[in-house]
Structure 1
């Protein structure tokens, strides 16, 4: 029984390692969906409608402006997730205290030969694969082969880990993807319905097929992304990640839950002007250590400050 479980675990990690080869394929797939959608909305339907005059031209103009604004924000957020390092443990990083317990015990164990030993502390988090200590909320990614700060999950769609330094960008990517695909699905819905009617439709068979495909793809993405977006909004409101959500089930009180407002600010920053932009203000980066992924305020810390 134990042997089969070990083989199953080995197969899982083998599969995770194989995911590294999907990189360029997934990016090309995302760009392919964007290309099909762009052709259907701009070239096949609402671009030509600009020359119809009257109300149809105004509707087409409004749809095209909204479509392009959301597309820019979607791609901006997407490539920020792809190209932003989620955060790794700095070389030779060592905590001064046991941050998991809130104690001031020194680091111990044979792994820390250059540090003073203290047998009273046995709960230092240490990664055997990376051969280094792990900061609070840090987890090892089997796909990337390293520890990631505040790791949420490894996402094949963005070909990257989602962690402390790009989690905001990932959430904005979900948000703008949901808005964009919903707008596309609604704008192409009349054309989709007309596709099954007896009336003769303008355009070549290729244009009609592209419109049909774009509607189906965007409707499917809108429904699926909506579920992920709701899940991650719930996680942010409780200041947890996908991995920590399972850890939280065994913890009576989650020490990092500081209230919805402060939990939100730990991901999006305190400057409201940057909340819906995949970037941070310089002031937020300077005054909020949580945005760097190594230090996080917790309830015991707040209690100590109040007294």
Structure 2
């Protein structure tokens, strides 16, 4: 009972924190929208004249980036990162790439218990990945998330900002969220910077004190987000280029220096974003990619032969 109560409290804490983080993201977006559109550029559009064309030209990319940011964000939040089927089992030894001769009654069952797993390991088969918390087999690159309480396919990390695990099915959406957040916050920082340059050059306040305070706070907030997201984006793009997740880079690669999933930057990139270029910048996949690329389903990952991974 105490254990169940602990899990209930942990799940409640995750849900409450998740709701707060979503509201925080929406609050930052709303505050930025108010400062950019309502306070600065929409009044300039209504005023007419030459400045109205400039203001209108600013608002178009601002709204486009904002739509892509929110689309990517909610795609990362609402998409299941990847759940392991209860009857999944591997036919391949993921360490060596050789077929596993596991046709006995133990693996014909949808679930394994600890005694069955121990008997398999004791019989000489030691390359099977098994989750004792979920009481089931784990596919390659799958890890258990304590926050979600289940195993996640190709788990990268549990992100409090998207209130979800980042895994096989939503990693692309998470990266696009970072990408469009960086573009949007950088764009806002640049367009609001002109207000301060005008103020210091002319020595007068170009707007009311309230508008100036709102603009200044928005400028600082977006500058801070742009710099922080840039570092995170660069880190994740380097992980994509090497076809490795945050968890794998932190733990598994230390014990597996010859990383077998690194197939080259192009193929590594396509395993996350797909083959069709027109879908690379939107949080969606082409139907052909979902049909042809097994890696997008989070269960099967091609690896290079042992002889080709000596450089790692």
The interval holding the TM-score normalised by the smaller chain is: 0.7 to 0.9
Match for 2:35 among 24, 36, 40?
40
Match for 1:268 among 262, 273, 294?
273
Q: 1:187 maps to which residue?
A: 191
Q: 2:300 maps to which residue?
A: 295
Are residue 106 (structure 1) and residue 111 (structure 2) matched? no
Q: 1:178 maps to which residue?
A: 182
Q: 1:248 maps to which residue?
A: 253
- Write out per-residue CA displacement over residues 113-137 of structure 1, whole angstroms, 9 at most, x where no aligned residue: 59x9582211211011111110000
**How far apart, in 1, do the equivalents of 2:234 and 2:246 lie?**
13
**How far apart, in 2, do the equivalents of 1:101 and 1:18 lie?**
41
Q: 1:136 maps to which residue?
A: 140
- Write out per-residue CA displacement over residues 97-155 of structure 1, whole angstroms, 9 at most, x where no aligned residue: 222331223347864859x9582211211011111110000000010010000000000
Match for 2:61 among 55, 60, 66?
66
Match for 1:76 among 71, 75, 83?
71
The DSSP-based 3-state class of the residue aligned with 2:255 is: coil
Aligned-residue offset at 1:56: 2.0
**How far apart, in 1, do the equivalents of 2:15 and 2:46 lie?**
47
- Write out per-residue CA displacement over residues 152-179 of structure 1, whole angstroms, 9 at most, x where no aligned residue: 0000000000000000000000000000
Change (3 A) 1:276 1:27: same
Q: 1:223 maps to which residue?
A: 227
Q: 1:214 maps to which residue?
A: 218
Aligned-residue offset at 1:31: 0.3
Higher mean C-alpha deviation, range 188-197 or range 148-157? 188-197
Change (3 A) 1:301 1:26: same
The DSSP-based 3-state class of the residue aligned with 1:87 is: coil
Higher mean C-alpha deviation, range 282-291 or range 91-100? 91-100
CA contact 2:262–2:304 (8 Å) conserved in 1: yes
Aligned-residue offset at 1:52: 4.4
Higher mean C-alpha deviation, range 178-187 or range 18-27? 18-27
The DSSP-based 3-state class of the residue aligned with 1:129 is: coil
Match for 2:87 among 78, 83, 92?
92
Are residue 166 (structure 1) and residue 162 (structure 2) matched? no
**How far apart, in 1, do the equivalents of 2:120 and 2:99 lie?**
13
The DSSP-based 3-state class of the residue aligned with 1:49 is: helix
The DSSP-based 3-state class of the residue aligned with 1:249 is: helix
Aligned-residue offset at 1:55: 3.9
CA contact 1:285–1:291 (8 Å) conserved in 2: yes
Match for 1:147 among 147, 151, 168?
151
Are residue 123 (structure 1) and residue 127 (structure 2) matched? yes
- Write out per-residue CA displacement over residues 169-223 of structure 1, whole angstroms, 9 at most, x where no aligned residue: 00000000000000000000122445667413323x4332221111111000000
Unaligned runs of 5+ in 2: 1-8, 107-111
**How far apart, in 2, do the equivalents of 1:230 and 1:223 lie?**
11
Q: Taking structure 2 as the reference length, what is the TM-score of the superposition?
A: 0.86
Aligned-residue offset at 1:19: 3.8
Runs of 4 or more, structure 1, over 6 Å off, are 14-17
